[in-house]
Structure 1
Amino acid sequence: MRRKGFPAVLLLFFWVLGPGLAEACTTIIVTRGASKDGSVMVSHSDDNDLSDQRIVYVPAQDHAPGSMRPVYCSAVAMGDFPEYNSYGHRRMVAPERAPAYGGEGEPSIPLGQIPQVPHTYAYFDGNYGIMNEHQLLFGECTDGSKVTPGPEPGRRILYSSELSRIALERCRTAREAIALMGDLIERYGLYGTGETLPVADREEGWVMEMAPSPDGEGGLWVAKKVPDGEVFVAANQFRIRQIDPDDPDVMFSKNLHEVARRHGWWNPEEGPLDWLRTVSLGEYNHPYYSLRRVWRVFSLIAPSKGFSPWVEDGFTAAYPFSVRPDAKLDVRDVMALHRDHYEGTEFDLTRGVAAGPFGYPDRFYGPYDGAGDVGDPSRRLDGAWERPLSVTYCGYAFVAQARSWLPDEVGGLLWLGLDKPSDTVFIPYHAGLTGLPESVEVVDTARFSRESAWWAFNFLSNYAGLKYSYMHAEIVELREELEKGFLQDLAVAERRALALLAVDAAKARAYLTELARRNTADTLARWWGLADHLIVKYNDGLLNEEGKMGQPLGYPRDWLSTTSWPTGPTTYERR
């Protein structure tokens, strides 16, 4: 990672980090014509391990003429920058931006400032911006790029996280957001990793991808519209390929072709510029780290297409930019995609010796793995794990909906799942609320707390690993009950909100805020109750029920055959 002493140098093959310090996310766009209810959906799993897991409400604000907006450094994908008081936790100390960004620690030091606008919109913020009050939606995933420089005041001050926040503060549509971010990149410079940012509004979804420039200033970017009726997925690899300058549904930086040609990244005689080949080395981390997830999503939503999980290399054209699903998706279909571990396939992580006796699907990365390396995916490794959509080091996941037939206050809906997608509950939060519950905004991953929503889900997910096949079944039962209940109750709640909105917007917003508080509190009470129940029920590896304590469960016989059990001491004979 960058430290003092590595100023304006372009660092090729930038760093080798574990997933705790390198973003490794999956993100999806579902267009209006591909969704059952006609909403546009953007989803994102923020696979960041134990960095900042707070989801923060940033209020709308008015600013005096001539004001400047600080641009803060981001540690989310590159590690800590102590010189700017930028850390994985806390992501920033900037009380002027939001009350939740006040508190402990030295104030964050800006990399620079840009002119402020008279009024900024309210939005939900995480390690990247999520959704604003006008139903503008963002997702994100980190990609490998040929150059990954650190920040440099005066030359490169923007990373995708701050870009997404600025767009949410100032924009109402995806096209407007892309134009703004592109202009900012070219004016103020881009540092860091390659990035994919899904950007969507009530009508359409776009994909914006960016990479730092080898020129040492500015940056390179492209954007492409997702055809209506189709679904897009990205998983730590650029997904835009050939750039057609005459395509009205494609945008790109003014100097893209010139910079790529001058640095030998693209030869015009070879045909249209291939964005993936031009700015990256192909796949992120190791073979199939990214592509397997793209295959999995496409194979689940469009099995009729017969996509193969096997490709020739990291630059394959086997998977299109987007696909039309065999059946339209609803919000819980998208949640299910993020909960996947390749169940039922040859890559099923709930099976095999590494899954243990109880089908535990998570794998823990260590010093022998290539986790987090965005350098050369063709380097030799002694081994590698399959990388699923749901991972134990996920900090939070969400599915955000923009519903054009409803007012923004009600139409924008964030389904937030804290911690690992397969072991969490997605709780709904409307765009029109005036603040998130404190339990969502206050998280310290270094200190366990029963007052924190994130810790409730993280604790149970970790504890369930002791006897996963048993405990996960009970987790699924409760999460199904809660999520289906939210969907059933929303119809009534939203009718009430719409009625209030027609006569008093402030009362409608207060109602939505209280609804979010109540849903969160009730969910946490149920979740901690389940945790307490499971601690007793499976204490000491036994099955404990009232009146029937200490029932032995043992291990599955097929797993025992893979251990030393068959050759254990069954006789007095020496072996």
Structure 2
Amino acid sequence: MSEKSVIRKAGIVAGAFALSAMLVGSALACTSLMVGKNATVDGSTIVSHTVDGWYDHRMQIVPGQKWEDGAMAPVYKNLCYQTMPTKPLNKVGEIPQVSETYTYFNTGYPSMNEHKLMMAEATWGGREESYCDSGWMTIEMLQVFALQRAKTARDAIVVMGALAEKYGYGDVGEGLWIADGNEVWLFEITGPGPLWNSELGIPGAVWAAARIPDDHVSVIANRSRIGKLDLKDKDNYMASSNVISFAKDMGWWKEGEEFLFNKAYMPAEDYDYAPICSRREWRALSLLAPSLNLSPTAAQYPLSVKPDKKVSAQDIMAINRDHYQGTPYDLSKTKAGGPFESPVFYRANKDQRPDGTKDVYWERNISIFRCSYSHVAQTWADLPDSVGGIMWFGLDQPLTTVYVPVFAGVTKVPSSWSDGYRHKMDRNSAFWAFNFVSNWATLKWNYMIKDIAAERSRFEGQFFAEVPAIKATAVEMHKKDPASAVEFLTNYSYNNMLAVEKAWWELGDTLVGKYCDGYVMTDEGAQESAGYPTWWLEDVEYGKTSNPADPK
């Protein structure tokens, strides 16, 4: 039975209603980058992810193990929302377990395994007609299974594609950077429509994957990025068997036209100029390859480009922290930024927006206040697994966080990083230390961000200075006793996480005292008035109601 005879556009209404609520925030969600091994300063592959919304911020290490014949693995929905009381975990079924699973690091979107396989997610929504509520698999569930079962990016794609096709994909359109030490792939997936079920004998998902050249960089910012597919080139492309036929049956592609995955499976308004997404694509690519002189208002950008110079993990961290500094899109330098040049802009509800702006948003910065966590993950092919993978992990928004190195061989993290509430302040949770500092800084941003940046640089400077020696020591230990190397790396990451957490609670207290009541407290204990910039006082008509020269 063909997809066309089962999934007709006339029968899409249920799917459209189910999906509409899920798509509301998809374009406001994550930004993810990649760097190939020949484009980095140290030969690593890099993927990064800013997880922008209320997602599970906790880092939990799920040990690998061997399983008996007949063992089953549970399948859940809402896996990425486990700190959100209004979205409880929902078990939808079980699938056969494999004989052995690998240890993986479970965050809102699972990110790393013991074999230094790395992932970074970005939602792109897709067409309402593609959504399939009966599909078991979500993107984060596919990530779990891939990290438990695969050692390479290619194998991870095979695992995820097969499971999604067999059990159905019941999530919105998603993209994943997947990196091992040699390759970085982009995997994109969408649903088979609302009428699919497992008894039909047709694929329960539509997906495609493209390998990025080793000397290139790329970005996903809530739009599908895979365009052309050369399915004869199996070294660089993979896809589900229905990737073209489903689009044809649905009327999204016509015979004789060039087939572009993103054009077929995204709504036209997302494929065309969509500044809430495309501006971030432009910004990231322009920072990495300024010589291209890309237009900030283009509808589409190249999937990947060659950077002007070799890229470091610090460069990617800087992009994660970007809010369009030095461009017309930096709203902190406009009236919107207020007297203290804040880059934080809360969402304006539709009924609050002025006429003519009902369907537009603030400029969507890469670093955003509602980020749950972010990471910059590096993998080296020539190092032992436990040593050759580092996830630089930061809680809350990138601009005010510290990226702490967590090695792939780590076996435990502090409970304050693996546990914690999200719906109420919790001083036993590291997340709240960073969230508090970020929120407090909005009171006097251009003052407090200097204190925050200095402390941030102190820690990250220390980590980047130490890590080469830490890696070298661990490699030598691994040659003699792999377990001792794992213990060494675990202690290093564990202690640094505690140190940063402690420092950030102390920084929060310092900022409260230093900037109390609108003043700036000096080291000598004197108060100095920060006041306001003249332009802002003029703009708010300072003194108008109390000017004796104009009693009216």
Report the TM-score, using the length of structure 2 for normalisation. 0.91
Aligned residue identity for 1:191: G
Shift of 1:273: 1.6
Aligned residue identity for 2:489: L
User: 8 Å contact 2:176–2:188 — kept in the other structure?
Assistant: yes
User: 8 Å contact 1:75–1:87 — kept in the other structure?
Assistant: no
Query: Cα gap change, 1:532/1:169 in structure 2, threshold over 3 Å: closer, same or farther?
Result: same
Match of 1:137 among 112, 118, 123: 118
User: 8 Å contact 1:72–1:112 — kept in the other structure?
Assistant: yes
User: Which whole-Å CA distance do the structure 2 matches of 1:213 and 1:18 have between them?
Assistant: 17
Query: Cα gap change, 1:302/1:242 in structure 2, threshold over 3 Å: closer, same or farther?
Result: same
User: Which whole-Å CA distance do the structure 2 matches of 1:274 and 1:52 have between them?
Assistant: 34
User: Which whole-Å CA distance do the structure 2 matches of 1:75 and 1:54 have between them?
Assistant: 12
User: Which whole-Å CA distance do the structure 1 matches of 2:260 and 2:373 have between them?
Assistant: 32
Query: Cα gap change, 1:273/1:87 in structure 2, threshold over 3 Å: closer, same or farther?
Result: farther
Partner residue, 1:336: 318
Match of 1:454 among 428, 431, 439: 431
Partner residue, 1:65: 69
Structure 2: which 5+ runs fail to align?
A: 1-11, 198-203
Query: Cα gap change, 1:533/1:19 in structure 2, threshold over 3 Å: closer, same or farther?
Result: farther
User: Which whole-Å CA distance do the structure 2 matches of 1:500 and 1:283 have between them?
Assistant: 55
Post-superposition Cα deviations, 1:408-432, rounded to whole Å, max 9, x if no partner, equal 1001101001000000000000001
1:261-410 to structure 2, matched below 5 A, reads: 261-270=248-257, 272-282=258-268, 284=270, 287-311=274-298, 316-317=299-300, 319-368=301-350, 381=358, 383-410=360-387
Match of 1:533 among 490, 499, 510: 510
Shift of 1:506: 1.9
Aligned residue identity for 1:358: F
1:491-506 to structure 2, matched below 5 A, reads: 491-506=468-483
Partner residue, 1:30: 35
Post-superposition Cα deviations, 1:257-291, rounded to whole Å, max 9, x if no partner, equal 22211121211122x32111211114559930110
User: Which whole-Å CA distance do the structure 1 matches of 2:417 and 2:28 have between them?
Assistant: 21
Aligned residue identity for 2:262: L
Partner residue, 1:216: 196
User: Which whole-Å CA distance do the structure 1 matches of 2:189 and 2:263 have between them?
Assistant: 13
Post-superposition Cα deviations, 1:79-130, rounded to whole Å, max 9, x if no partner, equal x8xxxxx7735987xxxxxxxxxxxxxxx44212111011100111111110
User: 8 Å contact 2:341–2:446 — kept in the other structure?
Assistant: yes
User: Which whole-Å CA distance do the structure 1 matches of 2:15 and 2:276 have between them?
Assistant: 25
Partner residue, 1:193: 172
* 1:398 aligned counterpart, secondary structure: strand
Query: Cα gap change, 1:563/1:370 in structure 2, threshold over 3 Å: closer, same or farther?
Result: closer
Shift of 1:150: 5.4
Partner residue, 2:141: 162
Aligned residue identity for 2:276: Y
User: Which whole-Å CA distance do the structure 1 matches of 2:409 and 2:211 have between them?
Assistant: 27
Post-superposition Cα deviations, 1:122-160, rounded to whole Å, max 9, x if no partner, equal 1111111101111111111111211353532xxx10011
User: Which whole-Å CA distance do the structure 2 matches of 1:301 and 1:134 have between them?
Assistant: 29
* 2:443 aligned counterpart, secondary structure: helix
User: Which whole-Å CA distance do the structure 2 matches of 1:475 and 1:296 have between them?
Assistant: 24
User: 8 Å contact 2:433–2:505 — kept in the other structure?
Assistant: yes
Aligned residue identity for 2:177: P
Report the TM-score, using the length of structure 1 for normalisation. 0.87
Shift of 1:397: 0.3
User: 8 Å contact 1:145–1:194 — kept in the other structure?
Assistant: yes
User: Which whole-Å CA distance do the structure 2 matches of 1:480 and 1:368 have between them?
Assistant: 39
User: 8 Å contact 2:350–2:359 — kept in the other structure?
Assistant: yes
Shift of 1:10: 1.8
Aligned residue identity for 2:229: I
* 2:477 aligned counterpart, secondary structure: helix
Could you tell which deviates more after superposition, 136-145 or 491-500?
491-500
Shift of 1:557: 1.2
* 1:33 aligned counterpart, secondary structure: helix
The structure 1 segments of at least 4 consecutive aligned residues displaced by more than 6 Å after TM superposition are 17-23
Query: Cα gap change, 1:227/1:91 in structure 2, threshold over 3 Å: closer, same or farther?
Result: farther
User: Which whole-Å CA distance do the structure 2 matches of 1:22 and 1:305 have between them?
Assistant: 26
Partner residue, 2:186: 207
Shift of 1:545: 2.4
* 1:183 aligned counterpart, secondary structure: helix
Partner residue, 1:44: 49
Query: Cα gap change, 1:17/1:171 in structure 2, threshold over 3 Å: closer, same or farther?
Result: closer
Partner residue, 1:254: 241
User: 8 Å contact 2:175–2:188 — kept in the other structure?
Assistant: yes
Partner residue, 1:99: none
User: 8 Å contact 1:283–1:289 — kept in the other structure?
Assistant: no
Query: Cα gap change, 1:204/1:46 in structure 2, threshold over 3 Å: closer, same or farther?
Result: same
Partner residue, 1:104: none
Aligned residue identity for 1:343: Q
- Identity of paired residues, percent? 36
* 1:404 aligned counterpart, secondary structure: coil
Shift of 1:567: 2.8
Structure 1: which 5+ runs fail to align?
A: 1-6, 81-85, 93-107, 372-378
Partner residue, 2:6: none
User: Which whole-Å CA distance do the structure 1 matches of 2:380 and 2:64 have between them?
Assistant: 21
* 2:93 aligned counterpart, secondary structure: strand
Shift of 1:532: 1.3
Q: What CA RMSD, in Å, does the superposition of the two structures yield over aligned residues?
A: 2.5
1:457-496 to structure 2, matched below 5 A, reads: 457-496=434-473
Partner residue, 1:95: none
Query: Cα gap change, 1:437/1:557 in structure 2, threshold over 3 Å: closer, same or farther?
Result: same
User: 8 Å contact 1:237–1:282 — kept in the other structure?
Assistant: no
User: Which whole-Å CA distance do the structure 1 matches of 2:371 and 2:96 have between them?
Assistant: 35
User: 8 Å contact 2:276–2:361 — kept in the other structure?
Assistant: no
Post-superposition Cα deviations, 1:203-241, rounded to whole Å, max 9, x if no partner, equal 010001011112524010000010110001000000011
Aligned length: 530
Partner residue, 1:509: 486
Match of 1:550 among 527, 546, 549: 527
Query: Cα gap change, 1:10/1:380 in structure 2, threshold over 3 Å: closer, same or farther?
Result: farther
Post-superposition Cα deviations, 1:299-358, rounded to whole Å, max 9, x if no partner, equal 1110100001012xxxx34x1000000011111100000000001001012211111111
